[in-house]
Amino acid sequence: MCGITGWIDWNRDLTKQSESLEKMTDTLAPRGPDASGTWISAHCALGHRRLSVIDPENGAQPMIRHTGDDKYVVVYNGELYNAPELRKELESKGRAFTTNCDTEVLLVAFMEWGKACVERFNGIFAFAIWNVAEQELFLARDRLGVKPLFYSEQDGLFIFGSEQKCILAHPAVKPEVGAEGLAEIFILGPARTPGHGVYKQISELRPGRCMTVNHSGVKTVTYWQLESRPHGQNVEETAEHVRELLKDTVERQLVSDVPVCTLLSGGLDSSALTTLAVNYYNENGQGNVHTYSVDYIDNDKHFQAHAFQPNSDAPWIERMTTHLGTIHHPIQFDTPELAGALKAATFARDLPGMADVDASLLLFCHEIKKDATVAISGEAADEIFGGYPWFHREEALSANTFPWSLASAMRADLLAPDVAAWIKPLDYIGDRYAQAVNEVPHLDGESEQLRKMRQMSYLNITRFMPTLLDRKDRMSMAAGLEVRVPFCDHRLVEYVWNIPWEIKTSGDREKGILRKALRGVLPEDVLTRKKSPYPKTHNPNYLAAVKGLLLDVLNDPSSPLLPLINVNKVRELAESDSAKSNIPWFGQLMSGPQLFAYLYQVNLWLKQYKVVIG
């Protein structure tokens, strides 16, 4: 994986702007610690930071190719998992290759098929290609948005990059946030509305979109979206097809010129991916798979089962590593490390994020990076197969809001009255929810119950899943670690999207069809294990630590957070028994301690980025 950035300026000669390009590119150094490259012309500047995974010797970027008198330049972040097939097809059309990397396959595919090339790609990507003859920039992002791409559009100026920080490094872009941006932070956050960059001058290219930038302006086109169709297979046929798709996806994503490991929690999803990886390595004589798990010091003493986290991972990790014979690396963190990493996690995301859930993942990825460059992870299975508790609880299904954000009134009540009057948080989340619901592609003739479940699936895939994909990308790439997410293969997502709910929940279980598909692949006890999310610390010392951090903020008159919140109410909450609550205000993991950590991150962000409110 890599980091990309650049800009188009029709009004000035960019060959005199190499210093700005270098500065923007350097902000992405953690994403690409292995190499740096820039390319600049009169009206187009491109920057790239590289993490070498495929053909390390020959894949330098920006990459330039010619066809006749035409010249094309690409910067690319991602992996094409069908690159071998595409290369073979392109060679049959007379195209020649000088490297073994998928960057060249992507660029030559564009030279052969033009903008329609994205419809042929199986992978995760964000890229920009400059067509010198046409004086046109073409940008695209993968179907599920695994790889990020932000941009800023101004008069005669178009700036883009993998992260907001590289765009903010351009002198024309200021860290300004208005009412919408504050509403994103205080009522939706750590989620974001698709396409919204939070900062006033920054937007996001939505998943499944591509765009062209030329003298006529900027044009965005949707090349992929979820489509609802009748499902014609029975339960057994469906399970078999899911198993075949998942096996093919994992095997494609194990291809690498550097070692690949897996992240293992002992749950259904990570155990399935690890088992398929072990089987593939065994079949191909590639040795033992390395597995990694994360936990927290003294979590075994303080863990208390509850509805959102019913059991501990540790026994199940041992069960799977013993069963598969992997080389396992258990990694543990203590409270001071978790609290201390909140700052680095905020900078990695360019925004306040999932508090210690982000911070622990960042620390985890740094540890993995000591031995590995590529990891396989189980993100997206719950969104796609319907695994979260809110898929199965009537109060969430009928809440008429995002089911992972049922505490909106509490959050709104923590705002300063004048800020709440300005950003209208409850109206804002209501409008964003209505916008999402109106996008759902329903199927004619569906019952009301099936319409409700399709709507819930759509909300999870397009609104909740991006939060976790953002988290995984930013935290892993901040450590220079590439993380692949097989459950985001668009073929699998398209297929499972149209599986009727009664088949998805076969056996009257969450993710029932996935469990059925994995029968014979996983041990029966692992197959039937009740879902438990990414582990968080239950150590009371963490609550004390983040409460102390927040109280320091509240006690400092210069804290930029203070004018935005109701200080007395936040202080009362921090000092009340409800601070210990396990009831989440966002997702499954963010409860009392995470609220304090999140507000601390908001203050860090406002201060560190010198955010201007207005």
Q: How far apart are CA 594 and CA 599, in angstroms?
A: 9
Bridge pairing between strands 136-141 and 123-131: antiparallel
DSSP 8-state assignment for residue 369: H
Q: 503 phi and psi, to 5 degrees?
A: -85, -40
Beta-carbon contacts of residue 117 (< 8 Å; ≥ 6 apart): 106, 109, 110
Q: How far apart are CA 519 and CA 513, in angstroms?
A: 10
Torsion of CA 150, 207, 432, 587, to 10 degrees: -100
Bridge pairing between strands 260-263 and 123-131: unpaired
Nearest to 176 by CA among 206, 199, 149: 199
Whether 2 is catalytic: yes
Q: How far apart are CA 74 and CA 59, in angstroms?
A: 11
User: Which residue type is seen at 177?
Assistant: V
Beta-carbon contacts of residue 423 (< 8 Å; ≥ 6 apart): 179, 180, 182, 183, 186, 187, 415
**Residues 102, 105, 111, 115: is their CA dihedral positive or negative?**
negative
Count Cβ atoms within 10 A of the Cβ of residue 84 and give its class: 0-12 exposed, 13-18 middle, 19 or more buried: middle
H/E element holding 422?
Answer: helix 417-423
Beta-carbon contacts of residue 3 (< 8 Å; ≥ 6 apart): 25, 28, 29, 30, 31, 32, 48, 49, 77, 161, 162, 163, 166, 477
Side-chain-facing half-sphere of 84: CA atoms under 13 Å: 6
CB 26 within 8 Å of CB 37? no
**One of 2, 44, 210, 365 is an active-site residue; which one?**
2
Q: How far apart are CA 26 and CA 5, in angstroms?
A: 10
DSSP 8-state assignment for residue 378: -
Q: Where are the beta strands (DSSP E) in 112-243?
A: 123-131, 136-141, 150-154, 157-161, 176-177, 203-204, 209-214, 217-222
CB 76 within 8 Å of CB 82? no
Q: 206 phi and psi, to 5 degrees?
A: -70, 155
H/E element holding 605?
Answer: helix 592-608
CB 133 within 8 Å of CB 118? no
CB 53 within 8 Å of CB 482? yes
CB 107 within 8 Å of CB 167? no
Torsion of CA 487, 490, 491, 497, to 10 degrees: 80
Beta-carbon contacts of residue 568 (< 8 Å; ≥ 6 apart): none
Residues classed as catalytic = 2
